[in-house]
Amino acid sequence: MTNKVIPYGRQNITQEDIDAVICALQSDYLTQGPKIVEFENAFSDYIGVKYSVAVSNGTAALHLCALALGIQEGDKVITSPITFAASANCVKYCGGDVVFADIDPTTYLLDINNVRSLLEKSPKGTYKGIIPVDFAGRSVDLEAFRELANEYGLWIIEDACHAPGGYFLDTNKKGQNCGNGNFADLSIFSFHPVKHIACGEGGMITTNDEALYNKLLMLRTHGITKNDSLYHNSTDFANGTLGSEKYPNWYMEMQTLGYNYRITDFQAALGTSQLKRADEGIVKRREIAKTYDNAFKGKGYIKGQSGVVEGHAYHLYVIEVENRLGLYNYLKENNIFAQIHYIPCHLMPYYKQFGWKEGDMPNAEEYYKNCLSLPMFPTLRSEEQNFVIEKVNDFYKK
Ligand SMILES: *Cc1c(COP(=O)(O)O)cnc(C)c1O
């Protein structure tokens, strides 16, 4: 039917997006201007959280979270092996130790029971935090994780890169949006083009905690503040003369070791424009997922993410199959570029040097043998999706 390549994910840039970027490029600010605050406010409204801090990418967001929460040399932090490496790497950036806990083989999410048994096996205080991941767009039950974290005095960074617009139902059957700050201390998002909202590069941290919010703002810009209520040095010093009562306009203080993790105004403008279509995108993703679900129902050779999936944001549509390599190659011959999410993080050579080895995470390793992410993005046309379904079924009929 079509010679065009069908990727697993793809951004959608409209004329409105292009106009928004051009408008930012023609304004007085390319960076550090009003478009950033605009994007942050729009994002806070969308998620239903108090504070949002826009940064240069999702990895920078994770690093700033790790810094703001004060991860130090030797601190132990628990995360999932089935995630993008950055979820774990942020702990290493600060000198901490990553402890992987296995996934639930039906939801593919970090299994809270495995986290609990790790915590029970060590004296309280051994672990500092948990980084659960809303893998594929399916929210972890953060209410349950919060309860466990409180019991052990841990913080939570929710890696919500796959799940802007996703939610889970709490014990009162109320929807809790990913990143809304009700359970996690900090949540992070990415605006890489394969994610829901594209900025080219970009990221966001959300929180309801004002103190953490202020720390993040400083850390994002070299550890510098321009808020005179926070200054340490005297007004006399700042003015260079005695008897001066006000800080001069040029004055600023670097109070902590920060970074330059800012996003630009033209990227933020693109983000705000994309955000307007975020709900539409989720509706489309859920329709695509439903079509796959129906098409594969009763097909013994396909297993998917099972259980309750209300609130799933479907960054990915993952299946588990036998002869995954064969299917992957067959789809590729037909210009369908499926992808693997993820090679288990603990078996990356970098992490193996810390003692992780095959057999440590049996569910994650078994999952990796069979998993495949099929094309899933809002502009996937129904002919294209039907072609994908047909090719998957053809492969197993042969
Ligand atoms: C994309 C992604 C990141 C990193 O985001 P970047 O913007 O690419 O740095 C982190 N965690 C997960 C789960 C991701 O999918």
User: 199 CA to middle of ligand 1, Å?
Assistant: 13
Strand intervals (E) in the chain: 51-55, 76-79, 97-100, 127-131, 155-159, 167-169, 175-177, 186-190, 203-207, 224-225, 253-254, 302-304, 317-321, 371-374
User: 136 CA to middle of ligand 1, Å?
Assistant: 12
Among residues 73, 75, 53, which one has the least CA distance to residue 65?
53
Give the N- to C-terminal CA distance of the chain in Å, as an integer.
Answer: 20
Domain ranges of the chain: 6-224+256-277, 225-254, 279-397
Write out pLDDT tens, residues 157-187: 999 999 999 999 999 999 999 999 999 999 9
Write out pLDDT tens, residues 301-327: 999 888 778 999 999 999 999 999 999
Pocket of ligand 1, beta carbon within 6 A: 57-59, 83-84, 86-87, 133, 159, 161-162, 190, 192, 203
Peptide bond into 342 cis (omega under 30): yes
Is residue 173 within 8 A of residue 183, CB to CB? The reply is no
Neighbours of 127 (CB within 10 A): 21
Among residues 187, 186, 188, 262, which one has the least CA distance to residue 224?
262
Looking at residues 189-195, what average pLDDT do you find? 97
Identify the CATH assignment for 279-397 out of 3.90.1150.10, 3.30.1370.10, 1.10.287.3510, 2.60.40.10: 3.90.1150.10
**Average pLDDT over all residues of the chain:** 96
| CATH topology (fold) of 6-224+256-277 | Aspartate Aminotransferase; domain 2 (3.40.640)
C-alpha 209/C-alpha 218 separation (Å) is 15
Question: Residue 398: which pLDDT band, with cuts at 50, 70 and 90?
Answer: confident
C-alpha 123/C-alpha 319 separation (Å) is 39
Q: Which atom of ligand 1 is nearest to the CA of 57?
A: 7
Write out pLDDT tens, residues 218-275: 999 999 999 999 999 999 999 999 999 999 999 999 999 999 999 999 999 999 999 9
* 97-100: strand order across its sheet: 51-55, 203-207, 186-190, 155-159, 127-131, 76-79, 97-100
User: 109 CA to middle of ligand 1, Å?
Assistant: 16
Is residue 132 within 8 A of residue 140, CB to CB? The reply is yes
Sequential DSSP letters for 116-148: HHHHHHS-TTSEEEEE-B-GGGPPP-HHHHHHH
- pLDDT at residue 375 is higher than 80: yes
User: 79 CA to middle of ligand 1, Å?
Assistant: 14
Task: Kindly report the protein residue whose alpha carbon is nearest to atom 3 of ligand 1.
Answer: 58
User: 47 CA to middle of ligand 1, Å?
Assistant: 18
Amino acid 3: pLDDT: 61
User: 190 CA to middle of ligand 1, Å?
Assistant: 5
Ligand 1: residue of 87, 93, 140 to mutate (most ligand atoms within 8 A of CB) is 87
Ligand 1: residue of 134, 190, 318 to mutate (most ligand atoms within 8 A of CB) is 190
Amino acid 136: pLDDT: 98
54 φ, ψ to 5°? -85, 140
Is residue 194 within 8 A of residue 183, CB to CB? The reply is no
